[in-house]
Amino acid sequence: QITLKESGPTLVTPTQTLTLTCTFSGFSLSTNGMGVGWIRQPPGKALEWLALIFWDDDKRYSPSLRSRLSIAKDTPKNQVILTMTDMDPVDTATYFCARRQPDGSFDYWGQGALVTVSS
């Protein structure tokens, strides 16, 4: 059974750095072709792709957020960590992590974690 779960703060103040952890089970990030990505969704709005890390530690980022994002993996712990610096109220959103299957699509998703940015 494949599961993913996001964890992290529910409230951050402006200019702070957000750190989110995706803890998964049922697959390994050392398997050829696998990856884990992060996607966010502001309340009432569309999905926005943020970042992706591959089994070989290759990484991809959204160009518009590249300077603020960092993604890393801890393969033995089955975790992927996303950090986003200089948080702003417009970054208020539900943040999802999802498994990238070998064909490239996101086939399993976490339940999402709502992060509110407010002073």
Partner 1 sequence: EIVLTQSPGTLSLSPGERATLSCRASQSVTSRSLAWFQQKPGQAPRLLIFGASSRATGIPDRFSGSGSETDFTLTISRLEPEDFAVYYCQQYGSSPRTFGQGTKVEIK
- Sites of contact with partner 1 (CB under 8 A): 37, 39, 46-49, 52, 60-63, 96, 98, 100-101, 103-112
Q: What are phi and psi of 66, to 5 degrees?
A: -55, -40
**Nearer Cβ to partner 1 (55/106):** 106
Q: What is the CA radius of gyration of the chain?
A: 14
**Nearer Cβ to partner 1 (9/112):** 112
**Nearer Cβ to partner 1 (32/119):** 32
Q: What are phi and psi of 58, to 5 degrees?
A: -65, 150
**Nearer Cβ to partner 1 (62/79):** 62
The least CB distance from residue 13 to partner 1, in Å, is 26
Pull the structure tokens for residue 100: 């990238």
The least CB distance from residue 111 to partner 1, in Å, is 6
| Residue with the two structure tokens 């160009």 | 63
CB atoms inside a 10 Å sphere around CB 55: 18
The least CB distance from residue 32 to partner 1, in Å, is 17
The least CB distance from residue 82 to partner 1, in Å, is 15
Q: Do the bridges between strand 79-84 and strand 69-74 make them parallel or antiparallel, or are there none, so unpaired?
A: antiparallel
